[in-house]
Amino acid sequence: MNLDILLVEDDDVAAEAVLRSLRKYNLNCTVVLAEDGQVALDILRGQHPERSIKRPMLVLLDLNMPRLNGFEFLEETRNDPDLSNLIVFILTTSDADTDKTRAYHHHVAGYMVKSAVGPQFSRLARLLDEYHGSVSVL
HEC-encoded secondary structure of 23-75: HHCCCCEEEEEECCHHHHHHHHCCCCCCCCCCCCEEEEECCCCCCCCHHHHHH
Q: What is the average pLDDT across 88-94?
A: 92
Quickly count: other Cβ atoms within 10 Å of residue 133's Cβ: 12
Residue of 37 and 116 predicted with greater confidence = 37
pLDDT at 114: 80
Rounded CA-CA distance 70/106 in Å is: 11
SS3 5: strand
Rounded CA-CA distance 39/33 in Å is: 9
The domain ranges of the chain are 3-130
% pLDDT > 70, the chain: 92
Instruction: Please report, for residues 9, 40, 52, 113, the alpha-carbon distance to residue 45 in angstroms, rounded to integers and kept in the order given.
Output: 18, 9, 9, 28
Can you name the CATH fold of 3-130? Rossmann fold (3.40.50)
Q: Would you say the C-alpha torsion 41, 47, 53, 56 has a positive or negative sign?
A: positive
Residues 6+ apart with CB under 8 A from 63: 69, 70, 71, 90, 92, 94, 99, 103
Tell me the pLDDT tens digit for each residue of 95-104: 999 999 999 9
